[in-house]
Structure 1
Amino acid sequence: MVVLALSDRTRGSVLVTGVGGVIGRHVAQEYARAGWKVRGVSRRHGEGAGWEHLPVDLLDAEATQSAFRAAAETTHLAFGAYIEKPTTQELSDVNVALLRHTLNGLHVVGAPLRHVTLYQGGKAYGAHLGYFNTPAKESDPRLIQPNFYYDQEDLLRQVAQERGFELTVLRPEGVVGYAVGNPMNLLMVIAVYAAISRALGQPLRFPGTVAAYDALYQVTDADLLARATMWAGSEPAAAGEIFNVTNGDQFRWRQLWPALARHFGMDYAEPQQVLLAEAMPLHRGVWEKLVEQYGLVRTPFEDIAGWDFGDFLFRSEFDRVDPAGSSPGHREGGRQG
């Protein structure tokens, strides 16, 4: 198991990309609480508690270099930026560019970079392709299917070797925590779906398939992942390694869904397949009435929850189990998955 014991010996200045997302937001907050100098990069979201915001489009290499003059003392990078694209090649091209421009921007301004944390996930094991062998381990071989995770990791390992900094790859699953404007946030999908269902006087139904309802799943608390990020940046044994990071318990939606209904004060009903990406935008008006009724922060409806992400997970008809905290030994050029 990974023990998240931190040391003050590596305290410095951290740059968190994708700070508007569920991972970046919680990582920035964790570093700020520990007394680090924290800067968060995103295109839209403003300054947060305890950290400074850099409004940067990381796809613009020149703009990135210019903006990073304000972050020239950066010692640690937590790379949480992500852009969704429809094809494998487009996904790789755009997300590798985000990482390349970030690394080059810090290099150009002379940042004394010591460590980079890169986030991956179940797609490294083929979870997006269908059934994959579980429990998935960090030492599992890569797949023949192209994957932007592999491309990003290869770039990062190459640049780290050339420029002399360390790296750690963390693989969470189903990250849950508060954030808006993030397409991969299961907590917001469930919460908004339940709130709208309740407002419509409907019971809480699992909207996916029966097979997914019965499959084993697990999640990663965003605060746990933030603590793991700080540990990775300060622990020498984490250098060059890959770690699964999950809460450590597995569940079936069949067991959890009635409990969620009780939490929201709703009746429970058996599963009924519904494509959330098609159904939920039709209830925008219901959500807007809830915002008015309860004095909620006004946020564009499309930024509240990623319905496509929910549809994907609620139709995963196989076990998704990645044991957390496996032993080190995954340094060989990033070829381990």
Structure 2
Amino acid sequence: HNHKKSRRIMAQANSHTSVALIVGVTGMAGLSLAEGLKKPTAPGSPWKVYGMARRQFPTWFPSALLDGFVSADVLNHDDTTKKLAPLASQVTHVFWVAIQVGLNEQENITSNATMLTNVLQTLKSDPTSPLRHITLQTGTKHYMGPIFDPTLAGQLVSHEPPFREDMQRLPYPNFYYALEDLVASYSPSVTYSVHRSSIIVGSSTRSFYNTLLTIAVYATICRYQGLPFRYPGSKYTWEHFCDMSDAEVLAQQHIWAAVTDKAKNQVFNCTNGDVFTWKSLWRVLCEAFGVEFVPFDDDNDGFDWVGLMKDKEEVWEEIVGKHGLIQTRVKDITCPEALSAVLHFGFQHVCSMNKSREFGFFGTITRRIMAQADSQTSVALIVGVTGMAGLSLAEALKKPTAAGSPWKVYGVARRQLPAWFPSALLDVFISADALDREDTTKKLAPLASQVTHVFWVAIQVGLNEQENITSNATMLTNVLQTLKSDPSSPLRHITLQTGTQHYMGPIHDPSLSAQLIQYDHHEPPFKEDVPRFPYPNFYCALEDLVASYSPSITYSVHRSSIIVGASSRSFYNTLLTLAVYATICRYQGLPFRYPGSKYTWEHFCDMSDAEVLAQQHLWAAVTDKAKNQAFNCTNGDVFTWKSLWRVLCEVFDVEFVGFDDEDEKFDWIGLMKDKEDVWEEIMEKYGLIQTRVKDVTCPEALSTVLHFSFQHVCSMNKSREFGFFGYADTLKSIPMWVQRLRAMKIIP
């Protein structure tokens, strides 16, 4: 009972026996499915598992994973019927991970549809068939078209990434479309789920598109022959983002969908949920295979890698013999032509995992480790409570379901509570100037015997980074020293809000910003364990300060991206800046021009929804494993400013204006400085709360962000590994927060 309860978002399995048929069991996804289904903790367990493949069992396959193995040619209707008919009265779930690759897409449609039809017709031919669900493995070719078809490949116009499940089908033949239509035709008597993977990474010698094994064979040959391990792709893919699908994650999603009612008749992308550059992955591969890292060279574009691989059968045979490997041929276990196509894409191969998360799949579902709250009374002090993160923290802490609840919540800010702040969220509000030691002591000392957790989301922005270090460290010191001055202080944890400036250096410092160097190890996606920059940084100063209180007080650091939330009191408020700009454009009939560069318009960025940020602060505050750790905190997806601009245009009812090279000369900062009188008119017309453009917008800071020459993207892998799965769909998050700003009468 307790075990089932701990699977918080897994559906309960049907009460009768679950019998799986894995078609394509000897491939990467097939092997991981067999392993996943045979785990005692598998949803729907215990499973009886039949595996099916055209050829006999390979010696490397653990036969104990299967209750029965069927060797059948599913292109042949008679052979399929003969081999599968005896199982038709047993199989409850078909896991389809088979593929047949032909010379062109029409061949693919015919062969793959024939195989699937033969299997399903055979199973359904038994009147007592208990078959109730089919999981169908497809891939990102759904969004790109038949990229390996020799005739069609040069004509394709793909969707723009990140790829989303609701994108319309492309006007080209595609065997994935044919298979989706085929499984849907069996509904409602048999439900289905579609799983669109990225580049699959797993273990098998029997997978047609096996990227990892292809690279492994290539690296092994290079090491054996002393050849340079050159990157066989373009400079674009070397530097830009891609994603992958771990076969275990893929198997988890198949099994989850097979027993989850909400997932029935749905389509899901399935990737690892992160992004990488081939440059960073190449370093990992070099280390794994003991070969020297060779940086990308423009001559690589003329490198005939496909020809090199075709010429290495004899070398591979030597290696197989020398190391006692199973007998394989290079041409059978590698796919240089297909991988070369991928490594020469002219776009970033990235999928959105937002739908999967919305439906309850987080990729490491069976290992979800949300911690239980401490048993003692929880008393929170939110410093910076009237900012975007502060408001969302107050809302999160006051939810009855909040970890550690019930919480007593104190809020601190320099100014009085604004009219838009729901005072019921706070048990007590304190107006205190944390820069002033005496004022801080006077206001906070009475709470020192109560506060168990400090949530630090305050910021003071000065003229340069040294000012930032001095002022922010002073504020934090004043608060912590006041709370710890009481010998009975129960303070046990501090959550510290910082940001991605940790990875970029003091980008807003007028003298230092021009000197900053983007070191290789700081290339995006940003990871928490990279070394610090050799520049002053107030985030680093604050991290050192909270760490100095350990072990008596634990801490967690939360490095956000661009925060999106609702407040008129946040210094770096991107959404409100854009909202004011769009409102003025609509009011005056001005074009809503993009005030950034072509690079940021077209490339990826990420954001941090204030609710997700609050969730992570709260999670870390009560999770033992998260103590004394630093975590990135973003929505877990990526977007282009081009796609976000369309959303903003729709939300603010202004015409979409595409990027123009003239926009680079657009003096947006000057325009915003000149609009105080216009904003005054707008506030009066719509009955808004009184604000000034210069107080609620940050055009200088946002202009810097919109002119970055790198993709502003963080890795959320560490958060997930530690058990935090908060997320938001950025393009849906924006309209929601705009509505909040409107309801608060901050914008019309």
Within 2, Cα distance between the matches of 1:67 and 1:226?
A: 25
- 2:407 aligned residue: 36
- 1:64 aligned residue: 440
Within 2, Cα distance between the matches of 1:141 and 1:188?
A: 33
RMSD: 2.0
Larger RCO of the pair (alpha carbons < 8 Å, separation 6+)? 1
* Identity level (%): 30
TM-score, structure 1 normalization: 0.90
Q: Which amino acid aligns with 1:126?
A: M
Q: 1:1-337 alignment to 2 at 5 Å? A: 5=370, 7-10=372-375, 11-34=377-400, 35-46=406-417, 48-51=423-426, 52-72=428-448, 73-110=450-487, 111-126=489-504, 128=507, 129=516, 131=518, 132-161=522-551, 164-271=552-659, 272-273=663-664, 274-326=666-718, 327=721
Instruction: Decide whether aligned partners of structure 1 residues 180 and 130 sit closer, same or farther in structure 2, where only a CA change above 3 A counts.
Output: farther
Within 1, Cα distance between the matches of 2:371 and 2:652?
A: 37
Within 2, Cα distance between the matches of 1:33 and 1:233?
A: 15
Within 2, Cα distance between the matches of 1:33 and 1:277?
A: 40
Within 1, Cα distance between the matches of 2:429 and 2:517?
A: 38
- Between Structure 1 and Structure 2, how many residues are aligned? 326
TM-score, structure 2 normalization: 0.42
Once the two structures are overlaid, the 10-residue window that deviates more, 273-282 or 310-319, is: 273-282
Within 2, Cα distance between the matches of 1:179 and 1:84?
A: 17
Within 2, Cα distance between the matches of 1:6 and 1:297?
A: 41
- How far residue 107 of structure 1 moved from its aligned partner, in angstroms, is 0.8
Q: Residue 299 of structure 1: SS of its match in structure 2?
A: coil
Kept in 1: contact 2:584–2:678 (CA 8 A):
yes
- How far residue 304 of structure 1 moved from its aligned partner, in angstroms, is 2.1
Q: Which amino acid aligns with 2:533?
A: L
Instruction: Decide whether aligned partners of structure 1 residues 183 and 4 sit closer, same or farther in structure 2, where only a CA change above 3 A counts.
Output: farther
Kept in 1: contact 2:573–2:696 (CA 8 A):
no
- How far residue 89 of structure 1 moved from its aligned partner, in angstroms, is 1.4
Q: Which amino acid aligns with 2:688?
A: L
Q: Residue 205 of structure 1: SS of its match in structure 2?
A: coil
Q: Residue 204 of structure 1: SS of its match in structure 2?
A: coil
- How far residue 12 of structure 1 moved from its aligned partner, in angstroms, is 0.8
Within 2, Cα distance between the matches of 1:50 and 1:19?
A: 10
- How far residue 257 of structure 1 moved from its aligned partner, in angstroms, is 1.1
Within 1, Cα distance between the matches of 2:587 and 2:372?
A: 48
Q: Residue 425 of structure 2: SS of its match in structure 1?
A: coil
Instruction: Decide whether aligned partners of structure 1 residues 275 and 67 sit closer, same or farther in structure 2, where only a CA change above 3 A counts.
Output: farther
Kept in 2: contact 1:181–1:302 (CA 8 A):
no
- How far residue 320 of structure 1 moved from its aligned partner, in angstroms, is 0.9
Once the two structures are overlaid, the 10-residue window that deviates more, 170-179 or 78-87, is: 78-87
- How far residue 6 of structure 1 moved from its aligned partner, in angstroms, is 6.1
Within 1, Cα distance between the matches of 2:648 and 2:395?
A: 27
- How far residue 275 of structure 1 moved from its aligned partner, in angstroms, is 4.2
Structure 1 runs (4+) deviating above 3 angstroms are 1-11, 129-132, 273-277
Instruction: Decide whether aligned partners of structure 1 residues 182 and 106 sit closer, same or farther in structure 2, where only a CA change above 3 A counts.
Output: same
Kept in 2: contact 1:65–1:108 (CA 8 A):
no
Q: Which amino acid aligns with 1:53?
A: F
| 1:42-78 per-position Cα deviation (integer Å, ceiling 9, x unaligned) | 1113273321211111111122111113322000001
- How far residue 325 of structure 1 moved from its aligned partner, in angstroms, is 4.2
For the pair shown, the structure with the greater C-alpha radius of gyration is 2
Within 1, Cα distance between the matches of 2:460 and 2:425?
A: 26
| 1:274-321 per-position Cα deviation (integer Å, ceiling 9, x unaligned) | 344322121112212221222212223333222222222222221011
Within 1, Cα distance between the matches of 2:629 and 2:647?
A: 37
- How far residue 103 of structure 1 moved from its aligned partner, in angstroms, is 0.7
Kept in 1: contact 2:373–2:623 (CA 8 A):
no
- How far residue 130 of structure 1 moved from its aligned partner, in angstroms, is 6.3
